[in-house]
Amino acid sequence: MTRLIHQNIVPPKHSEEMPLLGPEELIPFIEQYFSRRKVYLKQVKKHGSFLYVLEPDVLMRRAEQFKKAFRRELHDSGFYFAVKSNNHPEVARTLLKSGFGLDVSSGVELQTAIDVNAKEIIFSGPGKTPEELESAVRNSSCVTVLIDSFGELHRLQKAASMAGTTVRAGVRLTTNPKGLWRKFGIPPETLTEFWRAARSCPHIALKGIQFHTSWNLSAASQTDAIALLGELLSHMPDNLIENLSFIDVGGGYWPRQGEWLHPPAEPQEMRQKTNRHLSDISMIHLRFPAEPIETFARKISQAIKYHIFPVTRCRICFEPGRWICNDSMHLLMTVVDQKAEDLVITDAGTNAVGWERFETDYFPVLNLTRPALIEKPCYILGSLCTPHDVWGFSYFGREIRVGDVLMIPTQGAYTYSLRQHFIKAVPEVVIM
């Protein structure tokens, strides 16, 4: 294969100010998948197209790396995979073998966790219905409920009382008191009041506190929240501190590649993005880097040791999702029509990922049939009856023709779980 070549590059305005995705990172990323092209092509030959392929060994490696990073710093720690990030049962089964528990956010996910025999389940999320709380109560031997509001506290007490059992629980604190994130948890300043209310609920054993920040490219938001929590705990009643057995710092860790995006569109393109000419689409890609998980672990652990452990020495729990599953699933599709040298239609529709992801997010499209480390401009479109059915604006390969098998790697997070039956069926999942 030749080295990376960008053809027809049109630099965006002020490109020197943008965090560019350079060939020194993009080439090794692509090479690792081209080097295994025969393995992926074999799956299409055996199962047809289009496909999701799941690589459980990738999940195992990621899980071990995550645990090792944090347990190096915090020996008493627990790990719960956020099922919402990829709800395929085999993902959950694989991570249970790695010593993870499961973090679920609905009754449907709770049932999935029970069906795969998870022994440790955290049930989080706002607006739990009475039926969902009753299910948590029925499975209280393995479920810890993260209570999201005062009202939910009393609804859980009612369900547990009717069942004649006691439920282990924690409470979620909101990390952003403004805007849409207000929907999650209780305001930190109401924690003492919540604790007193929980003590009046004999069927609730309140044992922990959880918070969550999202889309973390660095540990800054998490360490800030830990500092605030430490200050809050230092003023809490002694009996609250004495009863704490866990603090859950949530998830939101961004994968090691960082966030890859197309350059921002001009205002006219934003108004009429479906009418963009290929010559207007830059071959420049943006990258917002993410800290390595070892850096996350070091910074978060230092913050916990400094702000939390002087007040209470309890178990620290983590809820990674995207970081664990992102690299474990890939999409394989076939070119079924070529309308021009720079426009092809695939047999895969973006209903497979559930949203118009690839109009903003950049992932390289790899031609496994005609591989080359040459990026060429081309509309790579799906076969749905909508102009927003976009996979990409370029591909890596010598050329592209009908019958070629294309791969979009690292589609394991927030794609499979969001798939939808819109116009076409969702793809089959093949476990490698």
CATH superfamily of 57-258+285-325: Alanine racemase (3.20.20.10)
Query: What confidence tens digit (pLDDT) does each residue in 328-338 have?
Result: 999 999 999 99
Query: What integer pLDDT is reported at residue 176 of this predicted model?
Result: 86
Check pLDDT > 50 for residue 185.
yes
Check pLDDT > 60 for residue 46.
yes
Q: Mean of the pLDDT values across residues 385-411?
A: 97
Q: Do domains 15-54+327-431 and 57-258+285-325 have the same CATH topology?
A: no
Tell me whether residue 361 is exposed, middle or buried, using C-beta atoms within 10 angstroms of its C-beta: 0 to 12, 13 to 18, 19 or more: middle
CATH superfamily of 15-54+327-431: Lyase, Ornithine Decarboxylase; Chain A, domain 1 (2.40.37.10)
Query: What integer pLDDT is reported at residue 100 of this predicted model?
Result: 98
Q: Which two tokens stand for residue 425?
A: 């069926």
Query: What confidence tens digit (pLDDT) does each residue in 286-331 have?
Result: 999 999 999 999 999 999 999 999 999 999 999 999 999 999 999 9
Instruction: Return the amino acid letter for 110.
Output: L
Q: Which two tokens stand for residue 386?
A: 């909508």
Helix pair 107-115, 130-138: axis angle to 10 deg: 20
Query: What integer pLDDT is reported at residue 212 of this predicted model?
Result: 94
Distances (CA, A) of 231 to 172, 173, 310, 311: 16, 14, 11, 9
Q: What is the pTM of this model?
A: 0.92
Q: What angle do CA 311, 312, 314 make, to 5 degrees?
A: 155
Check pLDDT > 70 for residue 14.
no
Query: What integer pLDDT is reported at residue 280 of this predicted model?
Result: 52
Q: Could you give phi then psi for residue 341, rounded to 5 degrees?
A: -60, -25
Query: What integer pLDDT is reported at residue 199 of this predicted model?
Result: 94
Distance CA 83, CA 90 (A): 11
Q: Mean of the pLDDT values across residues 365-371?
A: 98
Q: Which two tokens stand for residue 180?
A: 């849409």
Q: Which of 300, 331, 332 is nearest to 316 (CA)?
A: 300
Distance CA 404, CA 372 (A): 13
Query: What integer pLDDT is reported at residue 15 of this predicted model?
Result: 43
Check pLDDT > 60 for residue 1.
no
Query: What confidence tens digit (pLDDT) does each residue in 197-252 have?
Result: 999 999 999 999 999 999 999 999 999 999 999 999 999 888 889 999 999 999 99
Q: Mean of the pLDDT values across residues 58-64?
A: 97
Q: Mean of the pLDDT values across residues 93-107?
A: 97
Q: Could you give phi then psi for residue 24, rounded to 5 degrees?
A: -65, -20
More confident residue, 44 or 19: 44
Sequence spans of domains, the chain: 15-54+327-431, 57-258+285-325
Query: What confidence tens digit (pLDDT) does each residue in 131-183 have?
Result: 999 999 999 999 999 999 999 999 999 999 999 999 999 999 999 888 888 99
Query: What confidence tens digit (pLDDT) does each residue in 23-37 have?
Result: 999 999 999 999 999
More confident residue, 262 or 269: 262
Distance CA 26, CA 186 (A): 42
Check pLDDT > 70 for residue 81.
yes
Q: Mean of the pLDDT values across residues 13-19?
A: 57
Distance CA 411, CA 117 (A): 26
Query: What integer pLDDT is reported at residue 206 of this predicted model?
Result: 96
Query: What integer pLDDT is reported at residue 282 of this predicted model?
Result: 58
